[in-house]
Structure 1
Amino acid sequence: MKKKMIGILLATTLLALLVSCSSQETTHENKEKTIIVGVTSGPFEKIANKVKEVAKKEGIHIKVVPFNDYIVPNQALDKGKIDVNVYQTIQFLNQYNKDRKTNIVPIGKVYTSSQGIYSKKYKKIEEIPDGATLGIPNDPINLWRGILIYQDAGLIKLKPGSENKATLQDIKENPKHFKLKELEAGMLAPTLNSLDASIIPSNYALQNGYNPKKDALFLEDNERFAIYVATNEKNKDNPDYKKLVELYSSDEVKKFIQENYEGVYKPVEDPFRN
């Protein structure tokens, strides 16, 4: 009888330990959430890694997945290979959804980013000669954005009313007969030697060794094209993804952006305000 009672007590103790361990594991799993974040390589990746560091303190594990172009991060998101991505403007996202019949949605903006005009041949905008070839991104949104930058720099002038979605056909005045050459955004920096000047998105400029504040002949000052966190429509209300948006606006991340990117990227104050 005594042996039987000892056996029962041991079994009860073991069961209690198993339940306790199981409960601890469940609590741990609930606490350690993993979000797979897609970004373009370069500064967006570095900023995401800073967010990853801050998120760990909140019990959120982030896996950062870098990509080398502007299309694949949305393809990966649409196919469920990543949970969110952080690299695009709402204008680019809207165009992507329209072209590919996807349903990716923005859930919060995180920072603004400036694009600039660069040249290895000239030191000032005024030096760019008649008939020069100017590079510009070939996707519709960054093409539109590039046209606005060239207009702001005084090189061309658009037809009235076309600023809200400009194309090359909307250029009304081109007094110095510039030729605008369309290239994939990631190729503009590597091919700058073959161009007289070019728009280069700042993530690619930094990745290729340029300092936008020092090296750009002209730097965009426009908060219209903010960078957003995006996810699939079915996950738009996911509280962990909303928390990720908030972490991009945390004091630590803001300080990191300000100290490392000198105003080329600027944190937003209210990520959920349109």
Structure 2
Amino acid sequence: MLRRSLLTLAAAALVLAACGQGGAKQADVNAPLIVGATAVPHAEILEHIKPLLAADGIQIEIKVFNDYVQPNTQLVERRLDANYFQTKPYLDEFNASRGADLVTVAGVHVEPLGAYSRRFRSLAQLPNGAEVAVPNDASSIGRSLILLQKAGLIRLKDPANPLQTLRDIVDNSRNLRFRELESATLPRVLDQVDMAVINTNYALDAGLKPKTDALTLEGADSPYVNYLVTRADNRTDPRIVALAAMLRSQAVKDFIAAKYDGAVIPAA
């Protein structure tokens, strides 16, 4: 049933692309689809569905990145056909700052953001003046500060704003000292700071277990869904449509639930 659905979606996308783009050059639907992803869990999920897609005649090549900038940059440069690693607030900020026109295709999963420590076992043990490392990209730092506010550590000017900065902290009664670092480096500095707010993909890659190791963790209602993303000009490529359908399938939801034990949650 899934195979038939994928083929139907692919055929429909091909018709839409032909009608909507007129004489524009069409993608080679027989060529491998090159997809950028961070290692955990995105590349693992793609590896899981790779043989399922191959059975439908759709080949994918997975290019693994250890940062959040290059997957978008290379997608804009057409070195990738799609990527799978980011939330919409991050994508919106990238598009705005780079003048890009990347678009979401399908929401796949949520990775609850967490705060971790090697030195303390609870937030109550965190001392006044503690050094806290946070991601330095615009969307992740805002998300981190909202998490810390919900934990009662700080108060923000506008808690609903996803693009908070350190300047938006209006109450820091515990005198937390913040270090802004690249997301990928945060697990590596965990021994050097009192606490670090770490994206789940990097936490899992470092062997951390969000459900048991995090001092505070976003809930399942987190709005930060991870999306399959592509360029506006190839969003109807039948290979991308088929990939999106597979990533949203029950088979992938079951795989996520079994493998990640709540650290990664299928999107609604």
Q: TM-score range by the shorter chain?
A: 0.7 to 0.9
Counterpart contact for 2:36–2:83, Cα < 8 Å: yes
- Aligned residue number for residue 96 of structure 1: 94
Q: Which of 75, 83, 86 lines up with 2:84 in the alignment?
A: 86
User: Residue 188 and residue 161 in structure 1: after superposition, are their counterparts in 2 closer, same or farther (change >3 A)?
Assistant: closer
Shift of 1:45: 1.1
Segments of 4+ in structure 1 off by > 6 A? Answer: none
Aligned residues with identical type, % of pairs: 33
Q: Within 1, Cα distance between the matches of 2:54 and 2:253?
A: 17
Superposed counterparts of 1:211-230, under 5 Å: 211-221=209-219, 222-230=221-229
Q: Deviations over 1:89-125 (max 9, x none)?
A: 1111111111111111111111111110000000001
- Aligned residue number for residue 177 of structure 1: 175
Which protein is bigger by CA-based radius of gyration? 1
Note the residue ranges of structure 1 that are not aligned, 5 or more in a row.
1-29, 270-274
> Please, which moves more after superposition, 140-149 or 241-250?
241-250
Q: Which has the higher contact order (CA 8 A, sep 6+)?
A: 2
Shift of 1:35: 1.1
Shift of 1:177: 0.6
Q: Normalising by structure 2, what TM-score?
A: 0.86
Shift of 1:53: 2.5
Shift of 1:52: 1.2
Q: Within 2, Cα distance between the matches of 1:134 and 1:174?
A: 12
- Aligned residue number for residue 155 of structure 2: 157
- Aligned residue number for residue 261 of structure 2: 262
Shift of 1:163: 3.0
Q: Deviations over 1:104-159 (max 9, x none)?
A: 11111111111100000000011100000101000111010110111111111112
User: Residue 164 and residue 191 in structure 1: after superposition, are their counterparts in 2 closer, same or farther (change >3 A)?
Assistant: closer
Q: Within 1, Cα distance between the matches of 2:238 and 2:54?
A: 16
User: Residue 31 and residue 86 in structure 1: after superposition, are their counterparts in 2 closer, same or farther (change >3 A)?
Assistant: closer
- Aligned residue number for residue 3 of structure 2: none
The count of corresponding residues between Structure 1 and Structure 2 is 240
Q: Within 1, Cα distance between the matches of 2:254 and 2:57?
A: 21
Q: Which of 44, 50, 65 lines up with 1:46 in the alignment?
A: 44
Q: Deviations over 1:2-36 (max 9, x none)?
A: xxxxxxxxxxxxxxxxxxxxxxxxxxxx9855211
- Aligned residue number for residue 61 of structure 1: 59
Aligned partner of residue 188 in structure 2, secondary structure: coil
User: Residue 264 and residue 146 in structure 1: after superposition, are their counterparts in 2 closer, same or farther (change >3 A)?
Assistant: same
- Aligned residue number for residue 126 of structure 1: 124
> Please, which moves more after superposition, 127-136 or 158-167?
158-167
Aligned partner of residue 195 in structure 1, secondary structure: coil
Question: Residue type matched to 1:56 in 2?
Answer: A
- Aligned residue number for residue 20 of structure 2: none
- Aligned residue number for residue 12 of structure 1: none
Q: Within 2, Cα distance between the matches of 1:265 and 1:161?
A: 24
- Aligned residue number for residue 145 of structure 2: 147
Q: Normalising by structure 1, what TM-score?
A: 0.84
Counterpart contact for 2:50–2:59, Cα < 8 Å: yes
Question: Residue type matched to 1:107 in 2?
Answer: V
Note the residue ranges of structure 2 that are not aligned, 5 or more in a row.
1-27
